A and B are shown apart, each in its own frame.
Chain A
Amino acid sequence: MILKSIVNFLLVSIIFFIDQLPAQTVNGLKGGSLYPASIGGNSLSINPANFWISKKSSFSIMLPLSLQLHNNSVSPNWLNTYLLSGQYMDNETVNSMLDEIPDSGLLLNGHGNIMLFGLSYKRLAIYVGGTVDVYGTIPKSLFETGFQGIEFERNIDLNNTQFGFQSYLPISFILSRNIGNNLYAGIGIKGLMGIGYFDMSGRGEILSQSDNLSGVGTLNLNYSLGEFNIVRDSLLSYSTEGKFSPGINGKGYAIDIGLTKVFSDSWTMGFTVQNIFGTINWNGESSYRQVLQFDVELFSDEFEEIGDYSDSQQDSLLEAIITEDNVYSIDNLKTIVPIKIELNNELEFGPKLLLFNSISYEAASDIISEFQFELSGGLRWLHHRRFPVTLGITHSSLWGLKWGGGVGIHLSHYHLDILFSQNGGFSNEAKGFSLNLINYIYF
């Protein structure tokens, strides 16, 4: 009965936590850690050198998953306090609500990793994964316009408007070995199979005044989504062709290198540089760019006249306002898979306690235009050798504080770890979460 409960619990956990924390053990506290033992890294981090360290068997299969959703303002508490309060929000309340959104706008980020299949045998390993990155910024002025209305002389700032999405499958071939003196090295050559890419950036502003309305702006779109593309029928008139087909729409490569030093049975340190030269060249036949620019200044008396415009006059006015409206097919869409550098450290205190920490840097990319610097630390406790409990805390330069923990079960030939973390606050103050799951079978 108890066993059944555990199984049920695990199944529920798998359903809920459909992703993986990049940390695992084979035996005891850390034996054979494949990933740096940090919690809540914003991207999957694999140290190639650890394939050799983790080689407690001659054959293993890995199936890790991770999913993260973040923003920089909206938390359950924010929603419950304001938008879902069921109350009338006076001006003061509205101002208080908007104050929690930084001037740079509302940042949204989603990140998912999945290792579709991982296999290691002696010095060689291969894994096939999947990665999705989503990042966007909604200008604060749009919230202000929605909740505070349109006032003269108040600028509707459209700068910092952006949205990006990139998905690819890394196929990595890894060679790792002990190069002596308990120093392990690994190198991985990754083929990056691009699934889809989309980025949108907007700049501009709209200003309403007592006698006129003026505005200038630019919207740029780049995307490679298989057969999906936008067709411009006429001015500001578009239709779509095809559907987003998640095939191989781009190709690239990257190199991972890693070093792990086992100083003693209780101290291990790892260093890894991932995604060296990481770029994806998207297929020319599926890559497009769309540019929309407008420049308008209408006076109040013109507004009155516009109401009486004929269709042709309105078209002429629109042509005067829209300075560029084009969709191009491009054959040189090339995006960055950002390089990531990580240094991690694991200290074992007796048979039941493992402390770990890491420091990592991830460069800016076409999707996330800011670099990320993270400090992470935590502990793993094994009251029983089969059931590790993990707690950790991370601080990201972009997403702030993240904390979390999880449990696992380590059987003879099967490991399962499930971890959950929040960022930007605790409980209802959190502005995001991550779920991690790892399956690991070895023989």
Chain B
Amino acid sequence: MQWVQLVVLGLLLGGVYAMMASGLTLLFGVMRVVNLAHAAFILLAAYLTYALFENVAMDPMISLVITMPLMFGLGVALYLILFPRLENSPRYVEMTVLLTFGLALIVEGMLTFVFTGIFRSVRPEYSSTAINLGEIFMPTSQFYASTISFGLLIVLWAILRFTKTGTAIRATMQNRSAAQIVGVNVRRVSAISFGIGMALAGAAGSLLSFMFPFFPARHWQWVALLLALIVLGGMGSIKGAVIGALLLAIASAFVTDLVGPTWSPITFYLTLFLILMLKPEGLFGAKVRL
């Protein structure tokens, strides 16, 4: 039953990866922006969670209530301040890459200044316990984190499916100019999407804070991994990001077990190369656009 154990471990990590990747792919789908600062903002939320835990002993899962709205507001503000002036730039894609790269450096620099470069981690009681279901072993922290992540993904799905704003977001993802034609205020939709993506990054930061130790430059590693996930799923496809995240997390659990933990990160990058060579549009990406 070893493989069941590996699939469970993969799904536990995959749930959190899926939530992080959804935020990133949502931004790409709506705005055609690859947010290189996505993982830096995840770390920002992780440090915020750390500060709340150390100073007022707030449980990291409770601090989601603070990090999510805060990051939503930060996302909307950053979008409205920084992006409208790039909208008509003939070098839009290049400019947004530079902009988000710059944002990542700024966040990393600020975190290093405030928290220094050493490893930090949040250690609530459940960070060192495990749940045993018969033969199956689950680290409690990962079980909590993935349960919350799947819950938030369902909320995201419901917002996109059943609200008017969600309909506008989906329409903008499919065809931005058509959305404008039918009366969608795409700037408002972009600002809200940026906010939602950042709120998911906030949630991810709070959850990661008690799953892994972190230091300010850690985000480069994370964002590379997230890019592999969303390229596999197809850029701009939330369904693809979720399925890609789960597949790769399970694959990496198997690689860890069969080859060794040092080889686990290469699962992501190897898949990235293979996808780019064999099926560049990813599993659920649009090959042709209308």
Physical interaction between A and B = no
Interface residues of B, Cβ cutoff 8 Å to A: none
